[in-house]
């Protein structure tokens, strides 16, 4: 409408709290994934939390401190788990910790549950909980590579989920054998073995790859690896995954560390409606409306008619008052 404008502008949130897990491993990569996205968005105030380490005098792990320092983050707290999420959301005056507008970062089931609790008090990225990988593979896949991917995510946590869905019974048997051998020799064999034998992990044989894609969409995995003869053809059938890795040369480890995608991803089926962390996580679209008198005069009869239809006459009166001498 001439004389009327609506502008959508994107504004960064003022302050964020970034969580970096540290219970079973050290994650400088999570520092990068969180901090860089917030910095690109233009967030002015960044705080970071990671669990205290007994081996380092109750401080944050020095590798985490080093990564934060390289990125210019100097507000770092030695606190972990659900308590860290609550502290970010509500603030801790005795520590000088001000509440944040958004909390992001991966964690275990307790971190994910805490983020669900504080949502509404503060924004969150997603409930990025215990790691999940789902591999769709056919007879063309290398069972050794499929097994390596399943084991790589199982080493995160005893509750990590590693799932293979295939239309090839022969591949299923071969991968099962490879996984058993690899799990026995990998660096965290006890943890990996527990994850792979838990109820959250499985090898499923289905009739065809389209059925495999339907299963994956129902699951909504954090990481989805497609190792088939024609992964691009299957991609059209895949709609719900935190991140998708196509082909035998695209391991999930690429996304974990170096590809440029973000490894803070929705878990627990939330990929059906959520997405991974990015600069957009820290941005808010705002609508700015400006009309001049001529544009408002043209809009008046429509607004008055709608306000009467809704039995909210004062809405129309607020327009008419501006046009009546």
Structure confidence by residue, pLDDT tens digits, 9-53: 999 999 999 999 998 889 999 999 999 999 999 999 999 999 999
Q: How far apart are CA 306 and CA 177, in angstroms?
A: 68
Tell me which of 223, 249, 298, 300 is the catalytic residue: 223
Is 75 noted as a catalytic residue in this protein? no
Longest dimension (CA), the chain: 86
Tell me which of 222, 239, 249, 300 is the catalytic residue: 222
Candidates 179, 130, 185; CA nearest to 151 is: 179
pLDDT band (50, 70, 90) for residue 75? very high
Q: Which fold has domain 4-128+277-284?
A: Rossmann fold (3.40.50)
Is 222 noted as a catalytic residue in this protein? yes
Residue 217: the pLDDT is 97
Determine the angle formed by the axes of helices 81-90 and 109-118, rounding to 10 degrees.
20
Residues of the chain with CATH 3.40.50.1980: 4-128+277-284, 132-263
Residue 46 pairs with which residues in a beta bridge?
A: 16
Instruction: Name the CATH code of domain 132-263 (choices 3.40.50.1980, 3.40.50.2030, 3.40.50.300, 3.90.920.20).
Output: 3.40.50.1980
Q: Which residues contact 115 (CB under 8 A, 6 or more apart)?
A: 85, 103, 107, 124, 126, 127, 128
pLDDT band (50, 70, 90) for residue 325? confident
**178 pLDDT more than 90:** yes
**Which residue pairs, CB below 8 angstroms and at least 24 apart, start in 8-12?**
8/285, 8/286, 8/287, 8/288, 9/285, 9/286, 9/288, 10/283, 10/284, 10/285, 10/286, 11/283, 11/284, 11/286, 12/41, 12/42, 12/43, 12/44, 12/282, 12/283, 12/284
């Amino acid at each position: 409408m001439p004389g009327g404008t609506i502008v959508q502008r994107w504004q960064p949130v003022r302050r964020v709290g970034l969580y970096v897990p540290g219970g079973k491993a050290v994650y400088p990569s999570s520092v990068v994934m969180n901090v860089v996205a917030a910095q690109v968005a233009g967030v002015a105030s960044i705080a970071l939390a990671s669990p205290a380490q007994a081996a380092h005098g109750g401080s944050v792990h020095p590798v985490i401190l080093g990564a934060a320092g390289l990125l210019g983050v100097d507000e770092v707290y030695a606190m972990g788990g659900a308590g860290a999420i609550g502290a970010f959301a509500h603030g801790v005056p005795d520590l000088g910790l001000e509440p944040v507008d958004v909390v992001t970062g991966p964690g275990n089931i307790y971190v994910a549950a805490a983020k669900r609790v504080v949502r509404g008090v503060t924004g969150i990225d997603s409930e990025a909980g215990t790691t999940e990988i789902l591999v769709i593979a056919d007879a063309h896949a290398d069972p050794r590579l499929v097994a390596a991917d399943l084991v790589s995510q199982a080493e995160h946590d005893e509750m990590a989920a590693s799932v293979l869905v295939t239309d090839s019974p022969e591949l299923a048997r071969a991968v099962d054998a490879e996984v058993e051998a690899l799990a026995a020799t990998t660096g965290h064999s006890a943890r990996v073995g527990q994850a792979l034998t838990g109820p959250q992990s499985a090898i499923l044989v289905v009739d065809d790859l389209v059925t495999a894609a339907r299963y994956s969409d129902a699951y909504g995995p954090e990481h989805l690896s497609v190792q088939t003869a024609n992964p691009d053809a299957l991609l059209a059938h895949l709609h719900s995954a935190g991140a998708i890795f196509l082909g035998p040369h695209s391991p999930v480890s690429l996304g974990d560390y170096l590809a440029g995608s973000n490894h803070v991803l929705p878990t627990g089926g939330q990929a059906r409606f959520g997405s991974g962390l990015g600069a957009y996580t820290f941005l808010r679209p705002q609508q700015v409306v400006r009309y001049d008198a001529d544009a408002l005069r043209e809009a008046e009869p429509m607004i008055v008619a709608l306000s009467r239809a809704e039995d909210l006459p004062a809405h129309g009166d607020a327009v008419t008052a501006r046009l009546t001498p």
